[in-house]
Structure 1
Amino acid sequence: MTVVTGLDVGQLKYDIVQPTLTDIRLDGSAAVNLMTGIALAESRSAYLRQLNGPALGLWAMEPAAEADCWACLNTPEQAQLAGRIRALMSPDPSFMQLVSNLRYACAMARVRVLRADAPLPNAADAAALSAYHKQFYNSALGAANAGANRVLFQAAIDAT
């Protein structure tokens, strides 16, 4: 029998996600609940590497997606945000920090959804947060199931 455990959802939300999003100035209840829920949906906040795949970290970001986020950040319009994210980084190659640096991985996941063409959903609407994750983070081709993952986003909302 395989036992999968992950981080305590409240600790993930309040000790990693909330302070990270505050530091990069992309916080708010909806963003905190969304990023917490994405970590639960993508890795159950348990896996640092995708099984049989390239995605890395609790937010299961592929190195190509991280590079795409940096392409967006390396513009004059995003210079301040890029600087705030670089302040979270260690000297390791950035893609390895998706595994070893939870704050960096969270920040990059937030940048990924920052580029969505829709505002964040209501912070207390688990179904809307899960649908947003599917559409703007996981993609139509990804394995996420917005209906099945609603319970994970509700856990993120309810975490204390």
Structure 2
Amino acid sequence: MGRRDCYVCRRRDRHIAFGNPPMTGLNTRQLKTLIVTPTLQTLGLASPAAINLVTGTALAESRAAYVQQVGGGPALGLWQMEPATHDDCWTNFLDFPAQSRLATVCHRMRAADLDATAQLVTNLRYACAMARIRFYRAPKALPRATDAAGLSAYHKAYYNTSLGAADAAANVAFFAEAIAA
């Protein structure tokens, strides 16, 4: 078997160490309709573009399969949010009085028996909400709901950032899959 680039971690043969071929994860239509859409509706931040963006982000970040960063990094959950990013969303946004409604909704999504960052792994609804909050803080408007390249570029700019490993061109297919679901 020849060497190949992993579409999750962008490295060659990374999954061989785990004994796993690349995974396909959750069914994209179910992820979009049963997790992302109702979560964003509860937040009051649902739109076709936001739903496609958050669904595509789970696909691009983890292929909606991995809940711990492949290779041992700090990112957690299907949306591969780092604890520091999670904490920043709270400290510099949700904890402000102007965001009290959103903070209350996010608090209500959490289970009482686990700390918040652990819930990025165990609580799909909360992890999805935090991914949407991360995008909600971005300074630019969302791209059109059907613009896979625009959604991928937005993800790279405002979620993965210029320092991250995501490749906006390579991830267009994940956002197209999210749109089609």
- TM-score w.r.t. structure 1 length? 0.98
The one-character-per-residue Cα deviations of 1:9-44 (angstroms, maximum 9, x if unpaired) are: 000000000000000101010000000000000000
| 2:110 match | 89
Query: RMSD of the TM alignment (CA)?
Result: 0.8
The answer to whether structure 1 residue 38 and structure 2 residue 63 are counterparts is no
| 1:155 match | 177
| 1:48 match | 67
- CA distance in 2: counterparts of 1:17 and 1:117, whole angstroms: 22
Gaps of at least 5 residues in structure 1 are none
Of 89, 100, 110, the match for 1:79:
100
- CA distance in 2: counterparts of 1:125 and 1:14, whole angstroms: 19
- CA distance in 2: counterparts of 1:99 and 1:105, whole angstroms: 7
C-alpha deviation, 1:94, in angstroms: 0.2
Of 150, 159, 169, the match for 1:128:
150
Of 16, 19, 26, the match for 2:45:
26
- CA distance in 1: counterparts of 2:24 and 2:165, whole angstroms: 20
Q: Which amino acid aligns with 2:86?
A: E
C-alpha deviation, 1:5, in angstroms: 2.9
- CA distance in 2: counterparts of 1:133 and 1:95, whole angstroms: 21
- CA distance in 1: counterparts of 2:131 and 2:168, whole angstroms: 18
The answer to whether structure 1 residue 67 and structure 2 residue 87 are counterparts is yes
| 1:58 match | 78
Secondary structure at 2:117 match in 1: helix
Of 155, 159, 163, the match for 1:141:
163
- CA distance in 1: counterparts of 2:115 and 2:108, whole angstroms: 14
- CA distance in 2: counterparts of 1:70 and 1:23, whole angstroms: 18
Gaps of at least 5 residues in structure 2 are 1-18
User: Post-superposition, which runs of at least 4 consecutive aligned residues in structure 1 deviate over 3 A?
Assistant: none
Q: Which amino acid aligns with 2:100?
A: A
Higher relative contact order (CA 8 A, sep 6+): 1
Number of residue equivalences: 159
> Identical aligned pairs, as a percentage?
55
C-alpha deviation, 1:87, in angstroms: 1.0
- CA distance in 2: counterparts of 1:56 and 1:32, whole angstroms: 20
C-alpha deviation, 1:2, in angstroms: 2.7
- CA distance in 1: counterparts of 2:152 and 2:137, whole angstroms: 17
Q: Which amino acid aligns with 2:142?
A: L
Secondary structure at 1:121 match in 2: coil
- TM-score w.r.t. structure 2 length? 0.86
